[in-house]
Homo-oligomer: A and B are copies of this chain.
């Protein structure tokens, strides 16, 4: 069976000079912290008292651990997840973008351009045949075509892009496995 990758992602990060373990406050997470994260990733309105009962800690202990993880950046945000279809954005698209030049300046410019668009929920800079993968939500196809004109056709550095229309959002979330 052929290997799927030329090299590991870890190798790639190092080659590109991107420090994976970049300057973030170091923090050790024990099994209590992980158990708390598992709960908060499902429902962050769970009372600290209830979390405490689940993990065998007092509410203040839970509170201190949560604050510590927020300050350390382990918890990046606390957000409400909204159904896009219910607020006028029923169409989800996956877009692969290939650029012409991969100079640092041009890549950074593309990153900023893509990230600045509200309809772009997610943007990944990737290896392989594509350079960027975007997840986009729009009200109509007309709105998407307008977006493509502005973002892709209006960008001299975009070689081509390929759009995949999501017929079904099977699973949508940012949950990270922690209990393993």
Name the B residues within 8 Å of A74 (CB-CB).
Answer: 82-83, 86-87
Instruction: Decide: B77 and A167 in contact? CB cutoff 8 A.
Output: no
Closest-by-CB residue of B relative to A29 is B87
Partner of A171, one of B37, B84, B115: B115
Interface string of A81-124 (1 = CB under 8 A from B): 11111110111111010000000000000010011001111111
Partner of A73, one of B83, B96, B118, B175: B83
Instruction: Decide: A165 and B44 in contact? CB cutoff 8 A.
Output: no
Instruction: Decide: B167 and A78 in contact? CB cutoff 8 A.
Output: no
Q: List 27 A-B contacts (CB under 8 A).
A: A1-B153, A9-B165, A10-B90, A12-B165, A18-B167, A29-B86, A41-B79, A41-B82, A43-B77, A43-B79, A73-B83, A73-B86, A74-B82, A76-B81, A76-B83, A78-B78, A78-B81, A120-B171, A122-B135, A124-B166, A126-B164, A126-B166, A126-B167, A128-B162, A172-B174, A173-B174, A174-B174
**A-B pairs with lowest CB-CB distance, top 4:** A40-B80, A118-B177, A125-B168, A126-B164
Q: Which residues of A contact B (CB under 8 A)?
A: 1, 4-5, 8-10, 12-13, 16, 18, 20, 24, 27, 29, 34, 37, 40-45, 72-87, 89-94, 96, 111, 114-115, 118-130, 132-133, 135, 137, 140-141, 145, 148, 153, 162-178, 180
